[in-house]
Amino acid sequence: MSDAHDQPRALYPTGLISFNGQPAVHLRSPNGAQATILLHGAHVVSWIPAGHEEQLYLSPETKYGDSAAVRGGVPVIFPQFNQQGPLPKHGFARNRAWQVQEAQVRGEHAFAVLTLSDDEATRAIWPHAFTLEMTVSVDDRRLEMELAVLNTGETTIEFQAALHTYLGCGDVRHAQLEGLLDQNYHDAVLDQPRQQWIDVVTIAQEIDRIYWNAPKELTLRETGRRLLIQSHAFDDVVVWNPGPEKCAALPDMPDDDWLQMLCVEAAQIGDRVRLAGGQEWAAMQTLVIAD
């Protein structure tokens, strides 16, 4: 006989909520961990571990709406990273309305499953059949985000993907990102290949790097916080902060908010995924409060 805690029970609050005027799913685990996911883009905009404060950055000046790309949280990047192809920047998944398939509590976890399938608008710019599935789960001090891609057509598809995670920081100049020693990366600021020759990455100005074949666990340290950043089946890691000058030029972000965030993104960029008809690919990023 299964334990009662293993059985699904209604999520509280039940159904959709409104987040800044947008439909969203709110998750709350039995131990108090919370997350909020917009239906627009399956975009995680909040993660509050049990007994802790908000861990993600979300710009107070971001725009919301049908064509808006939300500044902060965890944008879903598919099928193109940045401007590495003919599609709009970072593809179209982050700007589409997703469907909620599940939102419930099971045991100590609260989770939601959202999906996006091709339609006339996506096929007009990317002529392929697909279904994306985004699964978001919270439990105590952990946030898990899994992106799955199913090729529902007959022809092979090729794509890039990423979870463009904006981590909140008290002051990014005092933060340290550990675990990238000896890793090769592309420095987009300098537009040249480089190698990480010290273990700790610190931020004092603009940084825009793609680390190739990166380690599967990194650590972000700040005073009073140690955050583990884990990935599965994503090969690459992007580290990005606009720095003071570019931040001041962004229309959807306060001038000094570059100090409040650091993007550490789980990504599949260098080796694009190829899926034959009927094949599926899935990858995950997990954030864990360690201290």
What amino acid positions are annotated as catalytic residues? 164, 265
Could you tell me which residues are beta bridge partners of residue 117? 131
Q: What are phi and psi of 124, to 5 degrees?
A: -65, -30
The sign of the dihedral angle between the CA atoms of 48, 51, 177, 112 is negative
Chain-centre distance of CA 225, in angstroms? 20
In angstroms, the CA 206 to CA 247 distance is 9
Of the chain, the end-to-end C-alpha distance in Å amounts to 36
Q: What are phi and psi of 244, to 5 degrees?
A: -65, -40
In angstroms, the CA 229 to CA 193 distance is 24
Give the residue among 231, 185, 233, 245 at the shortest CA–CA distance from 209: 185
Dihedral of CA atoms 193, 94, 48, 104 in degrees, nearest 10, equals -130
When computed from its CA atoms, the radius of gyration of the chain, rounded to whole angstroms, is 19
Q: Is 245 exposed, middle or buried (0-12, 13-18, 19+ CB in 10 A)?
A: exposed
The sign of the dihedral angle between the CA atoms of 191, 74, 71, 228 is negative
